[in-house]
Amino acid sequence: MAQVSEKVMVELHNVDKSYGDNKVVKNLNLQIQEGEFLTMLGPSGCGKTTTLRMIAGFEDVTAGAVIIEGENVVNKPPYQRNVNTVFQNYALFPHMNVYDNIAFGLTEKKVNKEEIRQRVGEMLSLVQMDGYETRRPSQMSGGQKQRVAIARALVNRPKVLLLDEPLGALDLKLRKQMQVELKHLQRQLGITFVYVTHDQEESLTMSDRIAVMNNGVIEQIGPPDKIYNRPATKFVADFIGESNIFEASVVSINGDNLKVIFETGGAEVSASGFNQDEMVYISVRPEKLKCSIDAVPGFNLRGTVKEHIYVGSISKTIIELPNGQNLKMSLLTGTPLLPQGENVWVYWEKDDTVVLHTNEETLYNLIEQVPKIEVRV
């Protein structure tokens, strides 16, 4: 099993990309280690594909450097970069059969026929497509085409494989299966993967590290558990998994204990590095939210049980707050549920929240309207 080493394989250094006046990638800095599975995650249009295409060499950088194995490659065409790409639409050559598709890169490098035959054979076994040599792309399913596209890239033994939403066109079941296979393949071969997706669940299952992108900027980069449990910005908290987010104001600080108030009540959270009266976001995951019939010390947050949604192994309870905000709470299916319409107190463990700085100006007006609610202690 390959390990992620300390050697930097790909580095983006202050990379900018503009189309006319439209800045789509802004001062991007990113280091990808050898053997790492790095995912670029973000909503559609945030600049993931553009970033990947700059690494592959299909797009020029407007400013900055793309460094592959210590060499700045911004002036090199795609065919001189030791990276290969798996395209979202597969981009298999329609006039060639599977064998010729996979052999393409090797014939370009003038590898001898015998070696080509052997390496294409190995690749076909690797992606479990033995016996498909003479099939044409139009004779295969989406999943099979994807395997061939992966084989066609891997046969060149690239140092880095770039994948742009490679599973985007597959149905859910096949997608899950391919996620596992791809991850396994990456571990087995020890190749650096740069993987682009807008599917946060996919990124959490596959990656060593996730770079969360928004509006051409990396908002946070880190391992999946860190991204999930310790989101650095409201965007990340919102985009990865589900979150209940409150816009709040810090009313008192006692060590790591903060008392905060928000429009619908108040709560206690534990966090450090915040100031008295500072505006913050409080983010609580649905599985961390709890409710009870009786009030809980430190919390003053009441809502009504609105509905229960059964989603397989877990059930979701929607609790409506007086201002109309819906809180999502998830429980293992089978846990006794509170009846609909019941008034409940909502709370959580102090350590189960994430507190984030906000831009104070934007929220100043909001807090003026917040009714002063006494925080019950």
Partner 1 sequence: MNIHNKRLNKFLSAAFVTLIYIFLYLPIAIIVFFSFNSSKLNVVFQGFTLQWYGVMFQNGDLMSALKNTAIVAVSSVVISVFIGTLAAIGMFRYEFKGKSIVDSFLYIPIVIPEIVMGISLLAFYHILSISLGILTLILAHVTFSMPYVVVTVRSRLSGYDMSLEEAAMDLGATRMHTLTRITLPIIAPGILAGAMLALTLSLDDVIVSFFTTGVDSVTLPIYIFNKVKTGVSPDINALITVIILVTLLVMLLMRTFDARTSKKEQA
Ligand X SMILES: Nc1ncnc2c1ncn2[C@@H]1O[C@H](COP(=O)(O)OP(=O)(O)O)[C@@H](O)[C@H]1O
Q: Is the dihedral of CA 45, 46, 48, 54 positive or negative?
A: positive
105 binds, among ligand X, partner 1, Mg ion, none (CB under 5 to 8 A by kind): partner 1
Residue with tokens 């790492």: 36
Query: One symbol per residue from 144 to 183: x for binding partner 1 (CB under 8 A), - otherwise; what is it?
Result: --------xx--x---------------------------
Minimum Å gap between C-beta 77 and partner 1 is: 7
Taking the C-alpha atoms of residue 373 and residue 264, their distance in angstroms, rounded to an integer, is 8
- The residue (of 45 and 371) whose beta carbon lies closer to ligand X is 45
Is residue 269 at the binding interface for ligand X, with CB under 6 A as the rule? no
40 binds, among partner 1, Mg ion, ligand X, none (CB under 5 to 8 A by kind): none
Question: Position 332: which residue type?
Answer: L
Q: Are 49 and 112 in contact (CB under 8 A)?
A: no
Binding range to ligand X, per CB under 6 A, among 44-52, 68-76, 135-143, 252-260: 44-52
Of residues 33, 39, 49, 220, which one binds Mg ion by CB under 5 A? Answer: 49
Q: What is the DSSP string of 41-91?
A: E--TTSSHHHHHHHHHTSS--SEEEEEETTEE-TTS-GGGSSEEEE-TT--
Size of the site for Mg ion (CB under 5 A): 1
- The residue (of 144 and 207) whose beta carbon lies closer to ligand X is 207
Of residues 71, 108, 115, 171, which one binds partner 1 by CB under 8 A? Answer: 108
Taking the C-alpha atoms of residue 72 and residue 37, their distance in angstroms, rounded to an integer, is 22
Task: Tell how strand 83-86 and strand 257-262 pair up.
Answer: unpaired
Is residue 85 at the binding interface for partner 1, with CB under 8 A as the rule? yes
From residue 193, give the alpha-carbon distance in Å to each of 19, 65, 267, 327: 27, 19, 43, 37
Q: Which residues, 309 to 328, sit near ligand X by CB under 6 A?
A: none
Angle at 87 between CA 74 and CA 56, to 5 degrees: 10
93 binds, among ligand X, Mg ion, partner 1, none (CB under 5 to 8 A by kind): partner 1
153 binds, among ligand X, partner 1, Mg ion, none (CB under 5 to 8 A by kind): partner 1
CA 77 to chain centre: 29
Taking the C-alpha atoms of residue 45 and residue 216, their distance in angstroms, rounded to an integer, is 9
From residue 374, give the alpha-carbon distance in Å to each of 214, 281, 304: 37, 20, 20
Is residue 51 at the binding interface for Mg ion, with CB under 5 A as the rule? no
Binding range to ligand X, per CB under 6 A, among 41-49, 85-93, 311-319, 338-346: 41-49
Closest CA to 203 of 91, 48, 19: 48
Is residue 105 at the binding interface for partner 1, with CB under 8 A as the rule? yes
Of residues 21, 44, 114, 254, which one binds ligand X by CB under 6 A? Answer: 44
Of residues 12, 24, 211, 237, which one binds ligand X by CB under 6 A? Answer: 24
**3 state SS of 157:** coil
In terms of phi and psi (left: phi > 0; alpha: psi -120 to 50; beta: otherwise), the region of 12 is: beta
Is residue 104 at the binding interface for partner 1, with CB under 8 A as the rule? yes
42 binds, among partner 1, ligand X, Mg ion, none (CB under 5 to 8 A by kind): ligand X
Binding range to Mg ion, per CB under 5 A, among 30-38, 49-57, 281-289, 356-364: 49-57
Name 245's bridge partners: 283
- The residue (of 90 and 246) whose beta carbon lies closer to partner 1 is 90
CA 300 to chain centre: 34
Is residue 93 at the binding interface for partner 1, with CB under 8 A as the rule? yes
Binding range to ligand X, per CB under 6 A, among 46-54, 169-177, 245-253, 359-367: 46-54
From residue 26, give the alpha-carbon distance in Å to each of 12, 94, 163: 11, 37, 21
From residue 11, give the alpha-carbon distance in Å to each of 38, 68, 73: 12, 6, 10
Size of the site for partner 1 (CB under 8 A): 26
Of residues 16, 23, 31, 87, which one binds partner 1 by CB under 8 A? Answer: 87
Residues of this chain that interact with ligand X (CB under 6 A) are 19, 22, 24, 42, 44-50
Task: Name the residues that contact partner 1, by CB under 8 A.
Answer: 56-58, 77-79, 83-85, 87, 89, 91-95, 104-105, 108-109, 136, 138-139, 152-153, 156
